[in-house]
Structure 1
């Protein structure tokens, strides 16, 4: 499998950037990974939190990448260990500087071995799989959004109230130096196919509807991952939403090496 990878960042309409993202897919290698964090806690704190989480998790995964076969054999445990290391680093930073109390970050880190996708995610940063014209979020959403949607399905809440519910984006799990209440990290991989596109992003991308994201992906299907990333950010900018959040994303396009 060949990987075409690009990362991108946009500040949106915010005064500062609280997202961070990095990817490591060496040319010719059949293994790679990306790490993305969406910080929270205000100007300085959110920026610090996302950088700590992304840096700590990246360093742990990079250390393991020297032996991909060994890594894959224990990938879930290693991803969990990396998240706990990042969590401890957040706790240590807050202990050193009390003004950072309450800072935290989401985490989504896809890891690909040949045609097998693993990941860890904490929070509400989406991990998408685009295949044959269909977009699907494959990781868990640890915000209140799914709970609110369930209330609609069970008749406890009217659909029109759910869409703009003030608690919709509240996080139920985050990396902030305390016990992490919810972690999505499965030992069984998702099988990837040539032609698939994997996208990890901060929730700022969800100012676009799934249909709008699909339109961009369809229009740039034959183009590079960099073109797709740029087109997604352009689509976000075209919304001209005064509340537009930061956007970070990584696009991985897969093709057959044979």
Structure 2
């Protein structure tokens, strides 16, 4: 297995950038990872939180993902530990800088080893897998959106009300130096096939619907990840939404 990898980031219509993203893949081994964080807390706070988490998680994964001794069952343990360590780093920073109390960030960190996908996530940053012509989100959404969508399915809300619900994007779990309410890190990896595409993103990409994202991926699935990333960003920007959030994502193709 080999991986083609690309990242993209844009501040959208916001005054500043609170997303951060990084990737690292070994040249001679089918092993690597992406780390993405979507900060919250305003200027000089959300960006600090996201950069702390991307830096600390990347450092921890580089140190511990050693290809010669690594087993599948080791990866979820490592992911939970590096996420917890990054959360502790936020706590340390806030303790020394009280003016940023309340800052926090989401986290999504997929790890690919051969044809298997592991991940840890906290918050609402989605992890998509495009396989056999279908795009699906594989990680949990730690926001109020799933509960609101359930109310639509049970007839308690109509779709338009649910789509514009003021609580839709309220997070139910986040890294902010306090105990982490929910962390998604399953024991069983997702099996991948050649041609499958993984997208780890901030929720800024979700100004596009899943159907619209899938259509772009379908059109560019034979192109390089750099071209696919460029096309996805162009599609978001073509919306010209005045409320467009920061956008960041990592695109990984298995070949």
Normalised to the residue count of structure 1, the TM-score between the two structures is 0.96
Structure 1: runs of 5+ lacking an equivalent: none
Shift of 1:71: 5.4
Moved over 3 A (4+): none
Alpha-carbon distance between aligned partners in 2 of 1:249 and 1:162, rounded to the nearest angstrom: 26
Residue in structure 1 matched with residue 25 of structure 2 by the alignment = 25
> 1:128-175 CA deviation, whole Å, 9 max, x = no partner?
000122110000000100010111222222322111000000000000
> 1:15-64 CA deviation, whole Å, 9 max, x = no partner?
10000000001223211111000000001100000000111111110001
Shift of 1:66: 2.7
Count of aligned pairs: 255
What's the secondary structure of 2:70's corresponding residue?
helix
Residue in structure 2 matched with residue 104 of structure 1 by the alignment = 104
Residue in structure 2 matched with residue 239 of structure 1 by the alignment = 239
Residue in structure 1 matched with residue 202 of structure 2 by the alignment = 202
Alpha-carbon distance between aligned partners in 1 of 2:119 and 2:109, rounded to the nearest angstrom: 5
Matched-pair contact (CA < 8 Å) for 1:71–1:78: no
Alpha-carbon distance between aligned partners in 1 of 2:132 and 2:209, rounded to the nearest angstrom: 18
Matched-pair contact (CA < 8 Å) for 2:106–2:123: yes
Alpha-carbon distance between aligned partners in 2 of 1:135 and 1:162, rounded to the nearest angstrom: 22
Matched-pair contact (CA < 8 Å) for 2:5–2:226: yes
Tell me the C-alpha RMSD between the 2 structures. Answer: 1.1
Structure 2: runs of 5+ lacking an equivalent: none
What's the secondary structure of 1:21's corresponding residue?
strand
Normalised to the residue count of structure 2, the TM-score between the two structures is 0.97
Residue in structure 2 matched with residue 8 of structure 1 by the alignment = 8
Residue in structure 1 matched with residue 47 of structure 2 by the alignment = 47
Residue in structure 1 matched with residue 79 of structure 2 by the alignment = 79
Residue in structure 1 matched with residue 134 of structure 2 by the alignment = 134
Matched-pair contact (CA < 8 Å) for 1:7–1:229: yes
Matched-pair contact (CA < 8 Å) for 2:31–2:67: no
